């Protein structure tokens, strides 16, 4: 299939690279997200990326950041993406814009608005009219902003990405869906290349092979793997067959790995999240990086070269050196083509299983030789590679980009650079400057020159064959301002050392007399989803009274994200099971009791994972359904066996009890189960997912076990469930059902137990809502209160609103609450800055989950502290403040 390789906007793509108006360029691109930073820091962060040597930023545009509620759009303040793009241009950066509609990015819902899930017929990320109508409304807002800022006429945008890693998602009509997105982009005047990235190497799965949509690749290898190069070269070859370059739109942040990608043929290298940020407010996602779920922290930081607070890490200097190599080689490198090295290479250290090299435009090769160890057998930290029969030093944990057989004519010399073992970071008339922490070997023609290892502040200079050769330590190479032909080096002044002051304990606060108001949200037979109450970010409270006479346990189905449940005045440990079914012991309660549940949205799923209900993309949030368990019965016996050599009449065995030599092949167990009420079948002992078919007549819809967050409880006569170990439950309506359980025969697996729970729904709920706007308005208004001293002890379910005086800080403040069994939500500068959970909690990922950041100038810190039931008494002991200057 053919793809356009050029546009009328000055960008051309072909198998040899990316061509701009001024010529070909190899592009280093850093993720930098306006929606994760204060607006007043945009320019400084953009300038910081440019100073790293990177020439481009990629930026998502989150749909639900701009459409805050259905039809309520915002592009002001921190949402003014047009201003951000204009600043990028002013700072000399290109932009790859990624408007989705789905972005992933560990962001609330992957940027898909939560209310989309309220339409049971709307199917996200599908070629489906209801979804595409909503996408059209979003693209009508976002794409004109991009079209007005395309390179080179009016702005920095050089590419626009449609969708994101669609090959991870079960899209029924990829071609139709991507065609619809492409057509909308074209309709809005997007003329720069349209790209679509694959997340797991399925180029057709990511693009639908739609003409006009260029495939790109996301690679997240193990940095220490020896097999990176052959995998990347394969994709470079596949794309070259289409006369397209290899565009790596996401990858790891470590520059040793980025050098290996470069040498394998990448024309765009965009490590994901080099410049970190923050998930303010209720914008983190619930994801599938835990066991199996996780909550994304408010700090959004995967170890990139700039921390969430703007601090430059060691990889920042690595970026500057790599950028100098790219600039020095210029078009020769930008137009290079990948090849397996023809130069023999042997090493005494762990390295690539198949090293990569590039044929440079104009002659010669660039050879990447990664040292994948941290030390050699002698423990010196330096290894030896033999290149073309010449031994050269290679530092541990490095990947020098060696030059082989490169003509020196562009630098005023008639000879050939037969070999250079270190990074070439500058070159001029008769001058070559290298960066290295180990001795440098240079071969000019047949003349071999050894340059001693430089040290910081002490360069090494050698004259040979009419050339001046200079070696700088990396710490000096990043500060290189200019050199004379005689090798005199001029360096910029080093950046002043930063000394973080010691954290300060805050033990005084003003506790507000009032708590945040609740918006009445009506009475409901069954608990509604929060989104149906108009809460897309925030929390809600569910209250009812129910009779627990003769009831030993409750069954909670589909609750998410964070549930504080109280039964008969007793707070239960916080539930954060991502919608998994939970049994709740209530033997101590009897008669008519009050039930209350406060349910908070942490964030909607950013990835589609079928193992738990709340991990599905588009899944809604709320209490789910609460049931009283009226009866339990063991139904593990009397299952008929079908499959393998089982004959007729079918033998009867316990579930999973068939003995066979056909290990790993599926076998089916079937039995009839009858229940006078709604029921739930629990399969205990599931290890690998099992397939369960339920054959039944039309159910009594009033008694059906509600699947999480669906409105239609009618079931087809045959329903099929994939039952994972994380949630081994099957809902059943009242009636008689033929249950068939199909599982691989696993004689060492221990078998299954089956239990049937007869259920009655808990009904007649009164609901109230507190969305993020309501909570923020209360937090930021003046309020009466009284002084309290920490530690502050709370009862489970008790809340305290605290106002805190903050010291002045030019770089902002990190707040670290120290306590047990508490959740702390903070507001400053009119915005929610985030949440911290101390005590028993689910897995967190993404950054430091124990701190909040108060940006400089965001005054008026207010905290909501909530006690949670658990093994310890809820207590806020101390608030630690530390400057992030």
Residue 1 has pLDDT above 60, yes or no: no
pLDDT attached to residue 809: 82
Q: Is residue 621 within 8 Å of 604, Cβ to Cβ?
A: yes
- What would the mean pLDDT of 607-616 be, rounded to a whole number? 96
Q: Are strands 447-451 and 440-444 parallel, antiparallel or unpaired?
A: antiparallel
pLDDT attached to residue 706: 36
**Nearest Cα to Cα of residue 802 among 874, 841, 860, 854:** 860
Q: Over 214-244, what HEC string results?
A: EEEEECCCCCCCCCHHHHHHHHHHHHHCCCC
Q: What is the pTM of this model?
A: 0.94
Asked if the bond preceding 561 is cis, omega within 30° of 0, the reply is: yes
Location of structure tokens 């702005």:
155
Q: Is residue 298 within 8 Å of 833, Cβ to Cβ?
A: yes
Residue 255 has pLDDT above 80, yes or no: yes
The string of pLDDT tens digits covering residues 517-542 is 999 999 999 999 999 999 999 999 99
Beta carbons within 8 Å of 409's beta carbon, 6+ residues apart? none
Q: Is residue 878 within 8 Å of 832, Cβ to Cβ?
A: no
Residue 690 has pLDDT above 50, yes or no: yes
Q: Please tell me what DSSP assigns to residue 36.
A: G
Residue 378 has pLDDT above 70, yes or no: no
The string of pLDDT tens digits covering residues 777-816 is 999 998 999 999 999 999 999 999 999 999 888 889 999 9
Residue 704 has pLDDT above 80, yes or no: no
pLDDT attached to residue 341: 67
Q: Is residue 163 within 8 Å of 205, Cβ to Cβ?
A: no
Residue 3 has pLDDT above 70, yes or no: no
The string of pLDDT tens digits covering residues 32-53 is 999 999 999 999 999 999 999 9
Q: How far apart are CA 529 and CA 162, in angstroms?
A: 31
pLDDT attached to residue 703: 37
Residue 4 has pLDDT above 60, yes or no: no
- What would the mean pLDDT of 87-107 be, rounded to a whole number? 98
The string of pLDDT tens digits covering residues 258-291 is 999 999 999 999 999 999 999 999 999 999 998 8
**Nearest Cα to Cα of residue 614 among 778, 726, 758:** 726
- What would the mean pLDDT of 615-634 be, rounded to a whole number? 97
Q: In what order do the strands lie in the sheet with 431-435?
A: 423-428, 431-435, 467-472, 460-464
The string of pLDDT tens digits covering residues 651-664 is 999 999 999 999 99
pLDDT attached to residue 9: 53
Report the alpha-carbon angle 676-678-680, nearest 5.
115
pLDDT attached to residue 30: 98
Least confident range from 57-66, 355-364, 488-497: namely 488-497
**Nearest Cα to Cα of residue 106 among 607, 442, 441:** 607
pLDDT attached to residue 502: 87
Q: Which residues pair with 719 in a beta bridge?
A: 694
Residue 340 has pLDDT above 90, yes or no: no
Percent of the chain residues topping a pLDDT of 70: 96
Q: Is residue 293 within 8 Å of 285, Cβ to Cβ?
A: no
pLDDT attached to residue 750: 79
Dihedral angle at the C-alpha atoms of 713, 714, 717, 719, nearest 10 degrees? -30
Beta carbons within 8 Å of 90's beta carbon, 6+ residues apart? 43
**Nearest Cα to Cα of residue 743 among 631, 655, 646:** 655
pLDDT band at 487 (very low <50, low <70, confident <90, very high): confident
- What would the mean pLDDT of 474-498 be, rounded to a whole number? 91
The string of pLDDT tens digits covering residues 826-853 is 999 999 999 999 988 999 999 999 999 9
Higher local confidence (pLDDT), 705 or 533: 533
pLDDT attached to residue 702: 36
- What would the mean pLDDT of 400-410 be, rounded to a whole number? 96
pLDDT attached to residue 548: 97
Q: How far apart are CA 829 and CA 860, in angstroms?
A: 6
Q: How far apart are CA 828 and CA 833, in angstroms?
A: 7
The string of pLDDT tens digits covering residues 169-194 is 999 999 999 999 999 999 999 999 99
Give the up-direction half-sphere exposure of residue 611: CA atoms within 13 A in the CB hemisphere.
Answer: 19
pLDDT band at 375 (very low <50, low <70, confident <90, very high): low
pLDDT band at 376 (very low <50, low <70, confident <90, very high): very low
**Could you report how far apart the first and last alpha carbons of the chain are, in Å?**
53
3-state secondary structure of 751: coil
Asked if the bond preceding 266 is cis, omega within 30° of 0, the reply is: no
- What would the mean pLDDT of 199-219 be, rounded to a whole number? 98
Q: Is residue 107 within 8 Å of 170, Cβ to Cβ?
A: no
Q: Are strands 813-820 and 875-883 parallel, antiparallel or unpaired?
A: antiparallel
- What would the mean pLDDT of 481-509 be, rounded to a whole number? 88
pLDDT attached to residue 154: 82
The string of pLDDT tens digits covering residues 758-779 is 999 999 999 999 999 999 999 9
Instruction: Report the mean per-residue pLDDT for the chain.
Output: 94
Helix axes 255-263, 314-334, angle to 10 degrees: 10
């Amino acid at each position: 299939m053919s793809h356009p390789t050029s546009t009328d906007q000055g960008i051309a793509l072909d198998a040899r690279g990316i061509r701009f108006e001024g010529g070909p360029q190899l592009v280093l691109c850093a993720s930098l997200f306006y929606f994760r930073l204060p607006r007043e820091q945009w320019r400084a962060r953009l300038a910081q990326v440019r100073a790293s040597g990177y020439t481009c930023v990629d930026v998502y545009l989150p749909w639900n950041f701009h459409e805050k509620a259905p039809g309520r759009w915002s592009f002001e303040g921190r949402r003014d993406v047009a201003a951000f793009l204009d600043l990028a241009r002013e700072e000399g950066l290109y932009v790859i814009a990624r408007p989705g509609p789905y972005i992933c990015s560990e962001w609330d819902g992957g940027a898909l608005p939560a209310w989309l899930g309220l339409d049971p017929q709307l199917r996200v990320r599908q070629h489906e009219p209801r979804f595409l109508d909503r996408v059209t409304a979003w693209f009508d807002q976002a794409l004109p902003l991009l079209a007005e800022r395309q390179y080179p006429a009016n702005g920095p945008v050089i590419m626009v990405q449609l969708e994101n890693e669609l090959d991870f998602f079960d899209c029924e009509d990829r071609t139709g869906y991507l065609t619809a997105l492409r057509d909308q982009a074209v309709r809005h005047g997007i003329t720069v290349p349209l790209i679509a990235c694959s997340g797991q190497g399925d180029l057709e799965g990511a693009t639908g092979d739609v003409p006009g949509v260029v495939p790109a690749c996301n690679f997240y290898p193990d940095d220490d793997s020896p097999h990176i190069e052959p995998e990347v070269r394969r994709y470079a070859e596949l794309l070259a067959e289409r006369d397209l370059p290899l565009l790596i739109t996401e990858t790891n942040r470590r520059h040793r790995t980025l050098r290996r990608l470069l040498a394998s043929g990448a024309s765009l290298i965009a490590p994901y999240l080099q410049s970190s940020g923050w998930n303010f407010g209720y914008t983190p996602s619930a994801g599938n990086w835990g066991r199996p779920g996780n909550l994304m922290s408010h700090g959004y930081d995967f170890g990139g070269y700039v921390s969430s607070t703007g601090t430059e890490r060691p990889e920042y200097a690595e970026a500057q050196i790599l950028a100098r190599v790219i600039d020095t080689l210029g078009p020769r490198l930008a137009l290079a083509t990948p090849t397996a090295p023809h130069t023999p290479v042997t090493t005494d250290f762990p390295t690539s299983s198949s090293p990569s090299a590039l044929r440079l435009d104009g002659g010669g090769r660039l050879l990447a030789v990664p040292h994948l160890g941290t030390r050699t057998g002698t423990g010196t930290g330096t290894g030896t590679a033999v290149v073309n029969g010449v031994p050269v030093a290679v530092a541990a944990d490095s990947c020098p980009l060696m030059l082989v057989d490169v003509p020196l004519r562009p630098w005023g010399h008639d000879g050939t650079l037969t070999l250079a073992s270190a990074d070439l970071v500058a070159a001029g008339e008769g001058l070559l400057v290298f960066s290295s922490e180990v001795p440098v070997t240079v071969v000019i023609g047949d003349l071999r020159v050894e340059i001693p290892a430089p040290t910081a502040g002490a360069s090494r200079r050698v004259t040979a064959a009419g050339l001046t050769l200079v070696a700088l330590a990396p710490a000096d190479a990043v500060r290189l301002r200019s050199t004379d032909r005689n090798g005199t080096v001029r360096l910029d002044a080093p950046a002043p050392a930063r000394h973080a002051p010691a954290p300060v304990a805050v033990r005084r606060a003003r506790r507000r007399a009032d708590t945040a108001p609740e918006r009445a949200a009506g009475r409901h037979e069954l608990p509604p989803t929060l989104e149906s109450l108009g809460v897309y970010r925030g929390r809600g409270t569910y209250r009812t009274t129910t009779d627990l006479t003769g009831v030993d346990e409750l069954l909670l189905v589909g609750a998410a994200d964070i549930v504080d449940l109280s039964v008969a005045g007793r707070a239960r440990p916080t539930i954060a099971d991502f919608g998994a079914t939970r049994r709740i012991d209530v033997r101590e309660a009897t008669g008519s009791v009050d039930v209350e549940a406060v349910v908070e949205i942490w964030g909607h799923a950013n990835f589609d994972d079928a193992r738990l209900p709340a991990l599905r993309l588009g899944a809604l949030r709320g209490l789910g359904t609460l049931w009283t368990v009226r009866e339990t019965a063991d139904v593990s016996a009397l299952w008929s066996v079908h499959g393998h050599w089982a004959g007729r009449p079918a033998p009867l065995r316990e579930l999973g009890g068939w003995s066979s030599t056909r290990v790993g092949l599926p076998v089916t167990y079937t039995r009839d189960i009858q229940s006078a009420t709604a029921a739930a079948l629990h399969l205990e002992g599931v290890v690998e997912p099992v397939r369960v078919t339920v054959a039944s007549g039309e159910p009594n819809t009033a008694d059906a076990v509600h699947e999480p967050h669906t409105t239609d409880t009618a079931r087809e006569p045959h329903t099929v469930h994939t039952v994972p170990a994380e949630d081994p439950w099957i809902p059943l309506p009242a009636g008689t059902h033929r249950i068939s359980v199909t599982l691989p025969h696993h004689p060492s697996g221990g078998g299954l137990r089956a239990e049937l729970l007869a259920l009655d729904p808990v009904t007649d709920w009164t609901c109230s809502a507190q969305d993020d706007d309501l909570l923020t308005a209360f937090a930021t208004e003046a309020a009466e209160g009284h002084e309290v001293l920490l530690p502050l002890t709370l009862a489970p379910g008790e809340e305290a609103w605290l106002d805190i005086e903050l010291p002045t800080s030019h770089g902002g403040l990190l707040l670290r609450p120290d306590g047990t069994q508490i959740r702390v939500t903070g507001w400053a500068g009119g915005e929610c800055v985030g949440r911290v959970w101390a005590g028993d909690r689910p897995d967190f990922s993404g950054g430091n989950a124990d701190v909040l950041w108060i940006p400089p100038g965001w005054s008026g810190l207010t905290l909501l502290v909530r006690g949670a039931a658990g093994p310890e008494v809820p207590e806020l002991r101390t608030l630690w403040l530390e400057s992030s200057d």
